[in-house]
Amino acid sequence: MEGSPIPVLTVPTAPYEDQRPAGGGGLRRPTGLFEGQRNYLPNFIQSVLSSIDLRDRQGCTMVVGSDGRYFSRTATEIVVQMAAANGIGRLIIGQNGILSTPAVSCIIRKIKAAGGIILTASHCPGGPGGEFGVKFNVANGGPAPDVVSDKIYQISKTIEEYAICPDLRIDLSRLGRQEFDLENKFKPFRVEIVDPVDIYLNLLRTIFDFNAIKSLLTGPSQLKIRIDAMHGVMGPYVRKVLCDELGAPANSAINCVPLEDFGGQHPDPNLTYATTLLEAMKGGEYGFGAAFDADGDRYMILGQNGFFVSPSDSLAIIAANLSCIPYFRQMGVRGFGRSMPTSTALDRVAKSMKVPVYETPAGWRFFSNLMDSGRCSLCGEESFGTGSDHLREKDGLWAVLVWLSIIAARKQSVEEIVRDHWAKFGRHYYCRFDYEALEPKTTYYIMRDLEALVTDKSFIGQQFAVGSHVYSVAKTDSFEYVDPVDGTVTKKQGLRIIFSDASRLIFRLSSSSGVRATIRLYAESYERDPSGHDQEPQAVLSPLIAIALKISQIHERTGRRGPTVIT
């Protein structure tokens, strides 16, 4: 600390009407909006900070991290300056501003911080023409619950000023403590720059048998792996954990340098965007492949020759093999959670294990209450996210280490493990079709009319004949969730059509970017007979999709010929 105290300024501002967090305390918008609209970012940061009760905020510790995308450094500086001015006592920040979303959750819980701010737009593209986002995690390490998001939004609608220390400058590259004297503050403001991996790695060591994984990756029957960080935040984690700690060769890891524009690619770990990994795996040289999204909470698993493990299958297989993980052998398994659109493959495992399954709306925040109350040990979503009660976020690297642990214990390939699972529990054919960048008004009317159709009593019992298939409607609803912990009711979370053979169609409206809207269509069909386990999912599901398109008229009403993305 040198020189005179740094002044704290109060800057007049005017509210924006579009700063409603999409869920989990997150605001995701085009980067140009954050960068170009006057006070757009400070307004939202002030709203987040003001949502913390003053008594809890004064002198508290918070965690700040980013996925390294364009505008992150500028935004981190603004967050630091505003945190100081708003009475935060200490910030923990990853070196160079980098922290994965799971690592932020880990650090919040480890040091009992008041919360954390994560600068990420998840799997969306970066760069000046991409997207940027701000996410608020609360004291349990998880995404903000809806009551907090609502409070942030209400504050954002009436904001008149924000507090900032514009002269405060930090060195994000230098590990260690930096302290600053501020005007009218009795205690110095402290920033601690930490290694982005170390605290999280220490947690992983308590969960897994690292020796068993290391033997798998380095022993005489070495499993060759290929891991794609997609130029997001996970590069340093992959190198330090899988290569340095667990012995995987350095060339196992690709695209490990975080880039502001993710190399011009979508940092989205699916078959549409992780094509570099998919092509490498199709060559047959590698027995295990994985990719991560920009902030490290989503993942994709591939086996030799590009064998794809669907996220819903991955969740169910992990559940069935938790005994391979020391953490679960010690802690036990209390229950499972899945988002409503996720396939019911997990339910069959839960039934065999005699543990409950909690079906929640989409959004990780709904799992936090279940885990905090001791009801849920493992949870996941069809959108490539899985996690356990070690954190309150989905955790891509954790899931990869679970898979490597299962392979080490069972001494089988990825494909063998999946096929054994299907033979025991049956196969759930599953696909998601995304109709992206639609006019919000159009999607509103499509969903309104569809809800009126499928929730009418006369729709129950209707039969749809497609080719040789006849589907009879057994149940429909607009999904509503009652939290078993606090009784909170969350309505209108998607339209479900369940047929008499347990096949499902689901329609759900998503608007995470806040500018355009997305309709997601999910189809699921169950096949018990092993002779039917080698079919292409889209071929199996095509009759269901035909029904969905007929009743929704989505192509006619949007002018689209098909979905934007199929996963």
Would you please indicate which residues are annotated as catalytic (active-site) residues?
122
Contact 513/496 with Cβ under 8 angstroms? Answer: no
Count the neighbouring beta carbons within 10 Å of the beta carbon of residue 72.
Answer: 23
Contact yes or no for 23/363 (Cβ under 8 A) = yes
Amino acid letter, 253? A
Quickly count: other Cβ atoms within 10 Å of residue 218's Cβ: 13
Helix, strand, coil distribution of the chain in percent, nearest 5:
35, 25, 35
Cα separation, 311 vs 301, in Å, equals 8
Give the type of residue at 416.
E
DSSP 3-state of 444: helix
Nearest to 546 by CA among 455, 439, 433: 433
Question: Which helix (H) or strand (E) segment is 464 a member of?
Answer: strand 463-466
Residue 420 half-sphere exposure, CB side, CA atoms within 13 Å? 14
Instruction: Please state the separation of Cα 335 from the chain's center in Å.
Output: 20
CA distances from 67 to 29, 234, 246 (A): 15, 8, 24
Tell me the C-alpha distance between 363 and 344, whole Å.
17
CA distance 25 to 138: 9
Contact 306, 282 (CB under 8 A): yes
| DSSP per-residue string spanning 90-102 | EEEEEEEEE--HH
Please check whether residue 448 is in contact with residue 557, taking contact to mean a CB–CB distance below 8 angstroms. no
